A = this chain, B = another copy of it.
Amino acid sequence: MDIKIDRSAPTPAYRQLYEQVSSAIESGELKAGDRLPHIRELAAALGIARNTVEAAYKQLAVEGFAKGRRGLGYIVEELDFSVLDPEPANADAAVLIRESEEQRNRDPLGGAHGMAFDFCYGNRSVEMLPMHALRGLADAVLSDACQAEAARYMDPFGHLGLRKQIVRHLRETRGIRCVPEQVILQPGTQVALSKIASILPQSERIVAMEDPGYNAARYAFQRAGCAIRPIPVHAGQRAFLDALHASDARMAMVTPSNQFPLGFIMPLSTRLKLIEWAKGAGAYLIEDDYCCEYRYRSSPSPALRSIDEHRTIYLGTMSKILTPSVRISYLVLPPELLERWNAVHSDDYCALAWFDQALLEAFMASDAWRRYTHSTVRAYQLSHDALLGALEREMGSRITIYGKDAGLHLLVEDALGRSQEELVELAKGAGVRVYPTEQYWAHEKHPMKSLILIGFSGIARDRIPEGIRRLAAAWR
């Protein structure tokens, strides 16, 4: 074995020796049972300290290349490296990786794909984020002396200070009375829903969902082993309640303050009957209050949870009022469900970072929060008005518009009844990205085949009129 130590290299001598000996073992130059050179002799031959050789040999022994035997020195271990030969069936890794990137980037939320006008849903325009306010607060949070939590596994319900701010926020804006001990922070709606589902025994995982409804919620429930019972919401309140009563659901997920995606408010009479159903069936309601802040021609309607605190699991999110990339959602559990939650999720860690929680706590406690939320709602009202005006001006009677006066998107139904695929493709040809709504329905057979989603939160307001002008031309 030909060993060379390069004293001018940045790698320490012991490491160079370790690497050359381990390579010799891997290549088969040194074989099982071979004795490594005597420490004193090798040190002398290489002109390095004995300690250096010993450190290299110890490392080889620690990792299992060789074994130190009293009186015999270090002996090479029995090692079969042939197992590391590539499996013949292995496809080219580079090809697999490229295919994976293509597969993932088909995601409809994944960006404008080079199109000049992207009317996406949920994404935000970066200029409207409160970066300036957050800069000052971030510095203060990181300088704060009371950071013991930052160094620990946190309370699985999340940072208490943030839960307190959420309690205050819910009381002031949603008419909800609760205590921080009922609030559980989660890294997004999907995770929250799958955790809610798993407090039901496996045999009772039957969830009623609005149809159409939020597809990602449906997938989250399904992955948690739930059967889904789609309940129609486009055929009137009576049909909705009848279908619910006819179902065997143990939970029902609803969007009372702004039905997703159709955009209407659930009437009080239906809310009361929903609570009646839950009480009678011993079931629970999940109120997904995903977009309650954005209502432009009236006040936000009070939450279902504000009139029922025993059967309603409230679910809120910071994705719409802040940004989807903040990944903070929160549950308010009925007191009756706390014990079950703790039992099922007893080994949970809090999945949110301390820093985000402390930063949001500081933001919500500041005057900047109120200013920010007001100005954000006002800004999206102007975008909503710009989009609605442009749609009416450019397409008038050729479309029906749903979901006005609330939320961050409008729905448009083509009077010619063309398919969503066709409408999306025509738009794409004009450099305009609009979105299908097929995925929100539980079944392929549904009555709104020409319904297109047009979001207004991720596009600059002054680009909306031109984008809709091009869309109208493409659809003409």
- List residues of chain B with CB within 8 A of the CB of A182: 97
A208 within 8 A of B: no
Whether A135 and B139, one on each chain, are in contact in the complex, defined by CB atoms closer than 8 angstroms, is yes
Partner of A151, one of B78, B124, B138: B124
A–B Cβ pairs within 8 angstroms, 29 of them:
A15-B299, A63-B267, A64-B268, A64-B270, A77-B268, A77-B269, A79-B268, A80-B276, A83-B275, A83-B276, A84-B275, A84-B307, A90-B310, A99-B338, A100-B338, A104-B342, A110-B153, A111-B152, A122-B153, A129-B151, A138-B142, A152-B458, A191-B351, A219-B347, A325-B353, A327-B349, A328-B353, A351-B351, A352-B353
Whether A97 and B190, one on each chain, are in contact in the complex, defined by CB atoms closer than 8 angstroms, is no
A415 within 8 A of B: no
Partner of A156, one of B91, B107, B122, B338: B107
- List residues of chain B with CB within 8 A of the CB of A341: 100
- List residues of chain B with CB within 8 A of the CB of A347: 190, 215-216, 219
- Kindly name the residue among A101, A225, A335 whose own CB sees the greatest number of chain B CB atoms within 10 A: A335
A78 CB to nearest B CB, Å: 6
C-alpha spacing A30/B103, complex, angstroms: 59
A235 within 8 A of B: no
Whether A298 and B59, one on each chain, are in contact in the complex, defined by CB atoms closer than 8 angstroms, is yes
Instruction: Report the count of interface residues on A (CB-CB < 8 A).
Output: 118
- List residues of chain B with CB within 8 A of the CB of A128: 151
A301 within 8 A of B: yes
Partner of A354, one of B81, B198, B298, B325: B325
- List residues of chain B with CB within 8 A of the CB of A299: 15, 18, 59
A423 CB to nearest B CB, Å: 23
- List residues of chain B with CB within 8 A of the CB of A157: 104
Partner of A338, one of B96, B188, B272, B349: B96
Whether B138 and A179, one on each chain, are in contact in the complex, defined by CB atoms closer than 8 angstroms, is no
Whether B215 and A58, one on each chain, are in contact in the complex, defined by CB atoms closer than 8 angstroms, is no
- List residues of chain B with CB within 8 A of the CB of A124: 151-152
C-alpha spacing A273/B80, complex, angstroms: 8
A339 within 8 A of B: yes
Whether B279 and A87, one on each chain, are in contact in the complex, defined by CB atoms closer than 8 angstroms, is yes
Whether A323 and B125, one on each chain, are in contact in the complex, defined by CB atoms closer than 8 angstroms, is no
A34 within 8 A of B: no
A465 within 8 A of B: no
Q: 10 other contacts beyond A96-B338, A122-B153, with CB at 8 A cut-off?
A: A65-B268, A78-B269, A90-B310, A100-B339, A154-B324, A188-B349, A190-B347, A225-B225, A351-B351, A355-B359
A377 within 8 A of B: no
A70-87, CB under 8 A of B: which get 1 and which 0? 000000011111011011
- Considering only CB atoms, which chain B residue lies closest to A257 in the complex? B63
A46 within 8 A of B: no
A154-194, CB under 8 A of B: which get 1 and which 0? 11110000000000000000000001011000011011000
Partner of A64, one of B94, B269, B327: B269
- List residues of chain B with CB within 8 A of the CB of A111: 152
Whether B139 and A338, one on each chain, are in contact in the complex, defined by CB atoms closer than 8 angstroms, is no
A269 CB to nearest B CB, Å: 5
User: In residues 369-410 of chain A, which contact B (Cβ within 8 Å)?
Assistant: none
A143 within 8 A of B: yes
A160 CB to nearest B CB, Å: 11
